[in-house]
Amino acid sequence: MDKQSAHNVASVLSKALPYIQRLHGKTIVIKYGGNAMTEEKLKNGFARDIVLLKQVGVDPVVVHGGGPQIGQLLERIGKKSRFIDGMRVTDRETMDVVEMVLGGLVNKSIVSLINHNGGNAVGLTGKDGGLIRARKMKIERSSPELAAPEIIDLGQVGEVTGIDPVIVNTLDHGHFIPVIAPIGVGKDQSSYNINADLVAGKLACVLGAEKLLLLTNTAGILDEDGQVLTGLKATDIDALIADGTIHGGMLPKVNCALDAVKSGVKTSHIIDGRVEHAVMLELLTDEGVGTLIKA
């Protein structure tokens, strides 16, 4: 390494110090998904970021998705995927596949990758230690032709009714990194497929997390000129929804981030998971790689 390169590295590390000091002993909940879960370079960068955070005294908690992987396995067994309002209709057979993919293949591959990079990760689903309690989610649709709203049954798609953080706190205090698949359990012991963003948001609130990070395949919330907006408050978000700047698939993610900060999480971040080391860049540098939302 030449002197200039060495100087650049030292400068970056020095600038990261105040962020490390500020986050030491804090919990960061990270929803891991999108391209960051499928491209080898991004996967390794993510794993190294998580290990680095733990090494400098931050407690990362990872909640992961896995929709594409579920779809691929369903296709292989000849079962068509059906979506309503962006949510996968989950009958009993599909739920078996969801548990196999999320709780097995995807979860263990993330655990293995983090451990390969020097971490101590432990894989969980919401069924372990009574972590995520859930109930069946239903969607109502109204129209002038109907006397009453139509109730749409999504099968074993769930919503969070409660979270018991004991097992996550135990792992954190034992110097482990929890990696959580978003599967919940109902009162009747039925399994439920839950949106990973929602699980991450609820978990961040219950754990009293300093930050919630949602990795996406976009640069963040963009204005009409394609520029990333950041430092947004609730009133800003409301205005951006009203004028159509925030719409479509970004809406539920933004609402999840906003709900988290309204419930005590200091800041939420919607960040570009297509950028290598996105987590480290967002947390430990001045520039960041996405949109910060605060109360």
Q: Is 287 helix (H, G, I), strand (E, B) or coil?
A: coil
**E strand or H helix that includes residue 84:** strand 83-84
Q: What's residue 181's pLDDT? A: 98
Which two tokens mark 58? 């931050």
Q: What's residue 19's pLDDT? A: 93
Q: What's residue 142's pLDDT? A: 61
Q: What's residue 9's pLDDT? A: 66
Q: Which residues of the chain have pLDDT under 50?
A: none
Q: What's residue 145's pLDDT? A: 62
Q: Is 28 helix (H, G, I), strand (E, B) or coil?
A: strand
Size of the chain in residues: 295
List all residues 6 or more positions away from 130 whose beta carbon is below 8 Å from its beta carbon.
164, 185
How many beta carbons lie within 10 A of that of residue 135, not counting itself? 16
User: 146-164, pLDDT tens digit by residue?
Assistant: 555 667 889 999 999 999 9
The dihedral formed by the CA atoms of 18, 22, 28 and 30, expressed in degrees to the nearest 10: -20
Q: Which CATH class is domain 22-294?
A: alpha beta
Residue extents of the structural domains in the chain: 22-294
